[in-house]
Chain A
Amino acid sequence: MLYAILCYNNEDVVCAWSKEQDDEVMARLQVVTGKLRDQGRLGPVARLMPTTAATTLRKTKDEPLIIDGPFAETKEQFLGFYVVDCETLDDAVAVAKDLAEANPGGGSYELRPIGAFFPGKEAA
């Protein structure tokens, strides 16, 4: 089964990382994703820009409402995701544990089974 591993963290903290810290974390995460890729289990991965770059289109009865930022204001923001093929929830938890170890500090991962998956076109 495919799992989406959704990453939540305080974007103020993530944006405050120095380039060296950022590079270090990315390198460690690539070790984790590299292993998954070698096992043929890695799907799309994305790192999102801060929510300040986001726009929300809220559906209404009439004309949709377009607002700046994410719709809900939260302490931890949705900052990225991995799609990983996992046999069991335990496997997904193990992947998330590896990610957590590679990227220490605050935040959390939500392990959400994927209902329907459309790989789409490979983006540039």
Chain B
Amino acid sequence: MTDPAWINTALSSARPQAVAALLRYFRNLDTAEEAFQEACLRALRTWPEKGPPRDPAAWLIFVGRNSGIDAARRQSKQAPLPAEELVSDLEDAEADIAERLDGQHYRDDILRLLFICCHPDLPATQQVALALRIVSGLSVKQIARAFLVGESAMEQRITRAKARIANADVPFEAPGPAERSERVAAVLAMVYLVFNEGYSAGATEIANRAPLCEEAIRLARLLLRLFQTEPEVMGLTALLLLQHARAAARFNAEGELVLMEDQDRTLWNKALIDEGLALIDKAMRHRRPGPYQIQSAIAALHARAARPEDTDWAEIDLLYSVLESMTPSPVVTLNRAVAFAKLRGPEAALKLIEPLAPKLSGYFHFFGVRGGLLMQLGRTDEAREAFDRAIALANTAAEAAHIRMHLDRLSVPSPAAKPKAKAPSRQLH
């Protein structure tokens, strides 16, 4: 533990629990963060000499709490005294520290922290930024880079989010059961959003954005520890693990997207896939299906197929139809179209997605899938038109390049060898 890298790992894995407990003491995000920073600095000084404490989180909470109290005392000479209840909350030092760190507290503390970051008053972009800053401990610079915005803009976004929370007068007590499940759903959505921010990055941005996928998985694992028996939390974690397992195969050496059926499956991470499959099995046993479980079950069918032709498209189509009924959305139907085409042909798939046109007229993947299906049907001109629209709507350079590859195939007439047509789809990358 004398190696700084190990100390940093210990500090960052203790962070959610420690910051959450410090928030309980100080009831102020900034103070809690500062106290945690101070505790980390002391850890870096003392741990290399004395060795790691048995429970790093408990150590950090204890030291952070004392340093926060010191800071409050110093400030009190310049500013009005802190509120009475705040001080009295701080006085009962060491005595029950061990007990305070017990399971129930741990759970409530971290939940409170997550609920604050995912407060309904905050727009999704602020929720994500705040969670990455406060819970994951990424630097403002790292978050700014991941979201392709300037550092000062990100700093502002986080400051604004904190101000909003302060103004909203967020209750520090855990919410009741009904509100709680709503808030948990918001946290799951935030974690999935963090993951997708990393997952939808192009190859050139992947170095800056891939850490988002790993952070999302860490957050999902944290949630899973809090909700060990909640099948949707298992489903979400499984979904992230199964998708992340394909990371090494998703781009070729030129930085172009590789469709799932062209990916080198030996590059898939077997350990992540196995863990994802184990979690789905556990989730299914509860017989309380939900959208994350269904999506992870679809990802699992892909992961279980040793070769693309082994993919169980009928089951995937069925799962999509279940997902459609649970969370009706044109995007879900669009994703279903790929399985639909495999089972019933491109004509049927095209019919399935035609009605979506008005709703998805600004959506890259709609035109990508549509172009792919038209290409399979040999309707070249229409396919080219759809691909042109897709390129205009592409979110990343890699997406545009991928569509351009299809266009190139269209423009080279090769009557003898019909180009192998594929329907591009985000779902299948």
Which of the residues A13, A53, A55, A75 comes within 8 Å of B13, measured between beta carbons? A13
B contact residues around A68 at 8 Å (CB): 228-229, 282
Number of interface residues of B (CB under 8 A): 30
Q: Are A67 and B229 neighbours in the complex by a CB distance under 8 Å? A: yes
A13 to B1, CA, bound (A): 13
Which of the residues A21, A55, A75, A106 comes within 8 Å of B52, measured between beta carbons? A106
Number of interface residues of A (CB under 8 A): 22
A15 to B271, CA, bound (A): 12
Which of the residues A15, A50, A53, A75 comes within 8 Å of B282, measured between beta carbons? A53
A12 to B225, CA, bound (A): 9
A contact residues around B285 at 8 Å (CB): 55, 66
A79 to B418, CA, bound (A): 53
Residue-wise, chain A 1-36 has the 8 Å CB interface mask toward B (1 for contact) of 000000000101101111001000000000000000
A68 to B232, CA, bound (A): 13
Residue-wise, chain A 39-54 has the 8 Å CB interface mask toward B (1 for contact) of 0000000000110110
A68 to B103, CA, bound (A): 16
B contact residues around A104 at 8 Å (CB): 1-3, 6
Q: Are A16 and B3 neighbours in the complex by a CB distance under 8 Å? A: no
A contact residues around B228 at 8 Å (CB): 52, 68-69
Decide: A106 near B10, CB < 8 A? Known: A15-B221, A16-B218. Answer: yes
The B interface is mostly helix, strand or loop, or mixed, namely helix
A122 interface residue, CB < 8 Å from B?
Answer: no
A105 interface residue, CB < 8 Å from B?
Answer: yes
A73 interface residue, CB < 8 Å from B?
Answer: yes
What residues of chain A have their CB less than 8 Å away from a CB belonging to chain B?
10, 12-13, 15-18, 21, 49-50, 52-53, 55, 66-69, 73, 75, 104-106
What residues of chain B have their CB less than 8 Å away from a CB belonging to chain A?
1-3, 5-6, 9-10, 12-14, 52, 54-56, 103, 214, 218, 221-222, 224-225, 228-229, 237, 274-275, 278-279, 282, 285
What are 18 A-B interface contacts by the 8 Å CB criterion? A12-B222, A12-B225, A13-B56, A15-B221, A16-B13, A16-B218, A18-B214, A49-B274, A49-B275, A52-B237, A53-B275, A53-B279, A55-B285, A68-B229, A75-B55, A104-B3, A105-B6, A105-B10
